[in-house]
Structure 1
Amino acid sequence: MVLVFSIFIDVRESKKSNKKLYTKKSQVYLFWQLAVILMGRLTQIPLLHYYYNHLTVTLNKLISIHRYIDFMMTPFFYQFAYIGCNRAILKKALSCRKRVQPILN
C-alpha cells in the first residue's frame, strides 16, 4: 500500500506541473496495480471461505493463512502490474511462445 500511496502522490504532483505524458503513464500503472491487487484479493476470498466453513480451522489460523498467502503473492502482484502496463515487455514475453522452425538442409 505504501507504493500505491506514493504513486498517487506522484500523480497529483505531476498534474500540478502539467506533465501530461508522465501523468498518463503513472495513472495507467496505478490502475493496473490496483486491478491486479483487487483480482488477487478476490481470488483469495473463496479459498478462505471454504477453509473457514468446511474445515475445522479457527479464525486465528485463517488469518495466519491469509497473511502467508498475502506475503507470497504480493511480489507477483506488483510484477504483473508492471508487465501489464508496459506494452513492450508484454509483447516481448508473448512473442517467446512462437515455435522455432527447424533448419532443413
Structure 2
Amino acid sequence: MGKIKTFEDLVFNPHSVSKEACNLPASIRKEWMEAKHAVMRFDNGYGISVVKGNMFYSNGIDTYEVGILKEGVLCYDTPITDDVIGYVNADEVSNIMKQIQELE
C-alpha cells in the first residue's frame, strides 16, 4: 500500500444538489448552493464520499457526513459502519479514510 490518504488529499467540489438550487425557494437556496462533496477511491476497491452542508449530517461549517463506497456505490456492510457517519471533523474523516484503506 502506498501513502495513506487523509482529509487534506480530498478535493471538494459543489455538490450535485447545488445545480438544482435555482429552482428552490430563496429561504433554502443558499444552503443548497453552499453544499460541497468530495469522493476518493482507493486501490482496494473501496472509497469515501464526504459531504458538507446543512441538509446532510453536517453543520455546514467544520463537520462532515461520510459514506463508505465499494466499487463506487455506497456500502453498508463494513466493519467500520453499517450506515453513513455524521458530524465528524476533519481528523475523524482522516481516521475513517485510514480504516477504509486497510479493508480487504
TM tier, smaller: 0.3 to 0.5
Relative to the length of structure 1, the TM-score reads 0.32
Larger Rg: 1
- The one of the two structures with greater contact order (alpha-carbon pairs below 8 A, sep at least 6) is 1
Taking structure 2 as the reference length, what is the TM-score of the superposition? 0.32
Which one has a larger percent strand, Structure 1 or Structure 2?
2
